[in-house]
A and B are shown apart, each in its own frame.
Chain A
Amino acid sequence: MDVAALSALALPDPDGAEHRLGDYWRDRRVALVFLRHFG
């Protein structure tokens, strides 16, 4: 688990807006859940 590499990634939400992952946990704890798929 490379948290630093993960922090640098930006992923889109369902509306297409990009979010940098590290911004979520810059100053708080985050439960980060990888789902198998949405189906």
Chain B
Amino acid sequence: MCREHAAQLRDAYPEVQRVGAEVVAIGTGPSMARAFVEDYRIPYPVLIDADARAARAATIGRMSFLGMFTPASYPGTIRAWRAGHRIGASGKRVTQLAASFVVGPGPTLHYEHRNKHGADHPPLDDVLAALRR
């Protein structure tokens, strides 16, 4: 669940800054972006990809409507709900999958995790390890 991962990165942000790295989150539409930043006290930059230009450049995948309810997502959804991460109103492009990358300096890709379903996200330790190298 991307709210869970966004919160993990928020909590790890001091460590990210300590190693001289940054976090940038990209969401799909403007209507709920500000509430998301405020509700989750997101300290890193959050940008809005309303027309999916960035999603296309990053070849972000999509799932079917029924794919949002795949049983593979149940354990992660239950874990996230128990931790207090609740999905509110549906945003834009709800079938767009999430993904995480570590890039830079320059146009160099070091790590990628393309989420397989709505409750998937990369292990935080893997992201932090890629940022430290």
B79 at the A/B interface (Cβ < 8 Å)? no
Residue ID in chain B nearest A2 by CB atoms? B57
Name the contact of A14 in the complex, choosing from B9, B46, B108, B109 (C-beta under 8 A): B46
Q: How far is the CA of A25 from the CA of B101 in the complex (A)?
A: 12
State the total of A-B contacts with C-beta under 8 angstroms: 173
CB within 8 Å for A29 and B26 given contacts A1-B109, A14-B34: no
Question: Which of B27, B45, B49, B53: most chain A CB closer than 10 A?
Answer: B27
Q: Is the CB of A28 within 8 A of B104?
A: yes
How many A residues have CB within 8 A of the partner chain?
Answer: 31
Which residues of B approach A to under 8 Å, CB–CB?
2, 5-6, 9, 16, 20-37, 45-49, 53-55, 57-60, 87-94, 96-110, 112, 115, 118, 127, 130-131, 133
Q: Please name 16 pairs of A and B residues whose Cβ atoms are closer than 8 Å in the assembled complex, sorted by A.
A: A1-B59, A6-B107, A12-B30, A28-B20, A28-B104, A29-B103, A33-B2, A33-B99, A34-B100, A35-B25, A35-B26, A37-B27, A37-B29, A37-B32, A37-B90, A39-B32
